[in-house]
Amino acid sequence: MISWLPASASWPLFLKLCLNTDLSGVRPSILVLSALAGMACLPAVAQPASVQPAQPVGSELPLAPEVLGNRPRSDPSVLAPAAKQLEPGLEGLSGPPSLALPTKPTQVRIQELRPLGLREVETIAEVNNPNLKAVASQVDQAKSNLRAQISAWYPNINLNTSNSFPGLNNSFRSDTNFPSRRTPFNPTSNTTTTSNLRYGGQMSIGINWDLINPQRVPQIAAARDQYEQAQNQYLIALRDLRLQVAQAYFDLQLADENVRIGQESVRASLVSLRDARARFQAGVSTKLDVLQAETQLARDQQLLTTALADQSVARRSLAAFLDLPMNVTPTAREPARVLASWLPSLQESIVAAYAFREELDQIILDISIANSNANASIGAVQPFLSIVNNFGWNRFSGETTSRAINTSNTDTLTYGFDNTIGLNLSWSLFDGGRAAAQYRQQKQVAEENRFRFASRRDSIRQEVESSFYELLKNNRDIATTTREVISARETLRLARLRFQAGVTTQREVVDTQRDLTQAEVRYARAVTDYNKRLAELRRRTGLDQVALCKPPALPGSKPAQDPATQIPIEPLPLQPACQLDSSL
């Protein structure tokens, strides 16, 4: 089953495609189909029109910037938003903390098997999935980076202070006076020690505002494009997550179906072995019939063992997407059923994929980012002009003490301020060709992205065509495998009657039983592949135009079963492989 997204009203390409029934309120969980009742819902394949001579396609095709714009903006309205909280009844399935790490076996021991539907699985994944949360964090990072680049339009104001605490300054000076020639030699010395204890401080405020900055506009433009890319990446991640969860759920449904088929095969083999042994003991059959029945039973037991292992792996694979508590394992509450039929034609699907795929917008934004980086590179050799204003203020008060022949104490007070304003011009006249080379490099990156756009455009068409053709093939596989299963079941019933009547051998019963098992496996695989291709088309085109299958009228009571074929399956003890290998 698939996440049913609301159809967008802005799809002019598909106004001609109408549905006869309003399907908006139909839940996919009610879509059930009898395994062998025939296909009530088949894809509507467009009838081939008359063949027209091919017209040359070239210059008449519009260019992507004309259709999407040179700098396309992300459009979250084309996709249903992700769930933010779990629905009632699912509150206990919140994921563990991001940095949680179990250290004991009891912390990872499975204690609950929780049956979940596809809608519930998608909701839990959107709320718990850590990869989606990481992509959402990247959107916030890109938004913060854009805001940081926009700050280049505003002035920078800086405040600096110094000497805000009391300071003590000690100085020592010694002066010696020598007498003249006419006086007796009697030198005198004068030693002075000065101590300054000052209180106060100084402050300066600087304002710098770029009036002309050639790199400012392209850098902001590149940051804005990166923000749009992050938003598109979130939409892409959300689409991919829904597809991956749906496919994981389909794989789990297939694993459950294989377990059911394996159990039915083992029961059928036990019935055949019981009949073969009874006829051998009665003397109307040979030992060869018993050995053939035992061989088929071993094959079916191996099939069941493989199916059980695949079921466990599929459950834990789905749990990894859901980030469930470590003691909970999800199970599929809904059986594998055909969901819907794809209504748009192949050509409409391709055009819709071109219109709604964010991957193409991402490449166009890469081109815009490269051009912005080129303009920023060449702006490095262009003049920068900024207005500057510096304001300074200081005030000190304290006491000055001098110890000399004459000691004096002086109280001092200093106070002052200054203010300067001016224009600063900066211009790199020669940089050795660095800016020009970086400009050419970014232009070459833009040219590379144009080639990448053409490659991605071709791959998108190839993906849509592949899913579309595979969907048609799986549709036919469902029809053929349905008839095969019905025929194989009737053949097995007749073969058992013939064997019990003694007109055939056990070999015919074994062969028909194996054919039935393989037919049921192929039918289950065809249904699962069909649903997967349908989910891929919805992911790859962005369309939601499907016709839901009609739910079958199921009886209220469980149909009666033949007690002769309902044999309990006894579990086999698991022995070490070394012992089993030595027994051959």
The 10s digit of each residue's pLDDT in 292-348 is: 889 999 999 999 999 999 999 999 999 999 999 999 999 999 999 998 899 999 999
Question: Residue 46: pLDDT above 90?
Answer: no
The 10s digit of each residue's pLDDT in 429-481 is: 999 999 999 999 999 999 999 999 999 999 999 999 999 999 999 999 999 99
Q: Are 530 and 338 in contact (CB under 8 A)?
A: yes
- The rounded radius of gyration (Å) of the Cα atoms in the chain is 41
Distance of CA 130 to the CA centre of its chain: 9
d(Cα 65, Cα 264) in Å, to the nearest integer? 59
Question: Residue 426: pLDDT above 60?
Answer: yes
State both tokens at 206. Answer: 């600087």
State both tokens at 338. Answer: 């055909």
DSSP assignment of 281-328, as one string? HHTSS-HHHHHHHHHHHHHHHHHHHHHHHHHHHHHHHHHHHHT--TTE
- Three-class SS state of 408: strand
DSSP assignment of 228-239, as one string? HHHHHHHHHHHH
The 10s digit of each residue's pLDDT in 507-535 is: 888 899 999 999 999 999 999 999 999 99
The predicted structure's pLDDT at residue 84: 87
Band the pLDDT of 401: cuts 50, 70, 90.
low
Q: Are 121 and 322 in contact (CB under 8 A)?
A: yes
The predicted structure's pLDDT at residue 179: 55
Q: Are 300 and 517 in contact (CB under 8 A)?
A: yes
What single DSSP character describes residue 79? S
The residue type of 2 is I
Distance of CA 541 to the CA centre of its chain: 18
The predicted structure's pLDDT at residue 579: 58
d(Cα 545, Cα 340) in Å, to the nearest integer? 10
The predicted structure's pLDDT at residue 202: 81
Q: What are the beta bridge partners of residue 169?
A: 196
Question: Residue 51: pLDDT above 80?
Answer: no
The predicted structure's pLDDT at residue 505: 83
Q: Packing angle between helix 216-282 and helix 287-322, nearest 10 degrees?
A: 160
Question: Residue 13: pLDDT above 80?
Answer: no
The predicted structure's pLDDT at residue 394: 82
d(Cα 423, Cα 382) in Å, to the nearest integer? 16
The predicted structure's pLDDT at residue 565: 64
Q: Which residues are CB-contacts of 418 (< 8 A; sequence separation ≥ 6)? A: 391, 392
Q: Which residues are CB-contacts of 487 (< 8 A; sequence separation ≥ 6)? A: none
Question: Residue 186: pLDDT above 70?
Answer: no
d(Cα 395, Cα 160) in Å, to the nearest integer? 15
Q: Are 552 and 37 in contact (CB under 8 A)?
A: yes
d(Cα 386, Cα 104) in Å, to the nearest integer? 63
- Three-class SS state of 565: coil
Band the pLDDT of 393: cuts 50, 70, 90.
confident
Residue with tokens 């899913």: 467
Query: For the chain, what is the mean pLDDT?
Result: 81
d(Cα 305, Cα 148) in Å, to the nearest integer? 59
Q: Residue 202: which H helix or E strand, with range?
A: strand 188-212
d(Cα 252, Cα 487) in Å, to the nearest integer? 27
Q: Are 502 and 440 in contact (CB under 8 A)?
A: no
State both tokens at 115. Answer: 């049956």
Question: Residue 30: pLDDT above 50?
Answer: no
Q: Are 231 and 140 in contact (CB under 8 A)?
A: no
Q: Provide the whole-model pTM.
A: 0.79
d(Cα 348, Cα 341) in Å, to the nearest integer? 15
The predicted structure's pLDDT at residue 220: 96
Q: Are 319 and 329 in contact (CB under 8 A)?
A: yes
The predicted structure's pLDDT at residue 48: 40
- The phi and psi torsions of 342 (rounded to 5 degrees) equal -85, 125
